[in-house]
Amino acid sequence: MSEVENQTISILLPTSTVAVYSTDQSTLQAARDLENDWRFARVNVQDEEGDVTNAVEVYQDIDSPDLIILQTDTIDDSFTAQLEELAGHCSEGTSAIVVGPDNDVNLYRKLIDMGVSDYMVRPVTTQDMASVVAKALVDKIGVTDSRLIAVLGAKGGVGASILSEMLACAAAEILDQKTILLDTAGGWSTLSVGLGFEPSTTMNEAVRAAENDDEDSLKRMLHHVSDKLSVLATGGDVMLEPTVNAEQLECLIDMLMVKYPVVIVDLSQSAEFLQKMVLSRAGQILVTSTPTLPALRLARSLIQEVREIRGGEDSDVSLLINMQGQAAANEVSKKDIEKAMEFSVSAYLPYDAKMFLGNESASRKLTDDKDARALIEKTLVPILKKFVAANTDEETDPQNEDGFFGGLLGKLKTKS
CB 287 within 8 A of CB 152: yes
What pLDDT, on the 0 to 100 scale, is given for residue 15?
A: 78
The 8-class DSSP code of residue 124 comes to: P
Structural domains in the chain?
Answer: 3-143 (3.40.50.2300), 147-385 (3.40.50.300)
Q: How far apart, in whole angstroms, are the C-alpha atoms of residue 365 and residue 354?
A: 14
Spell out, as residue ranges, where the chain has pLDDT lower than 50: 1-4, 6-7, 390-401, 407-416
Q: Which residues contact 382 (CB under 8 A, 6 or more apart)?
A: 347
Per residue, what are the HEC states of 175-187? CCCCEEEEECCHH
Contact 399, 77 (CB under 8 A): no
pLDDT recorded at residue 396? 39
375 closest CA partner among 405, 355, 403:
355
pLDDT at 254: 85
The predicted-structure confidence for 96-137, as pLDDT tens digits, reads as follows 899 988 887 777 777 777 677 888 998 999 999 999 998 888
Cβ(154)–Cβ(337) under 8 Å? no
d(CA 192, CA 236): 10
pLDDT score recorded for residue 10: 59
Do the beta carbons of residue 262 and residue 147 sit within 8 Å?
yes
- Other C-beta atoms lying within 10 Å of the C-beta of residue 212: 11
Per residue in 372-390, pLDDT tens? 899 999 999 999 988 875 4
DSSP assignment of 68-83, as one string?
Answer: EEEE-S--SHHHHHHH
Q: Are 265 and 148 in contact (CB under 8 A)?
A: yes
**Overall pTM > 0.95:** no
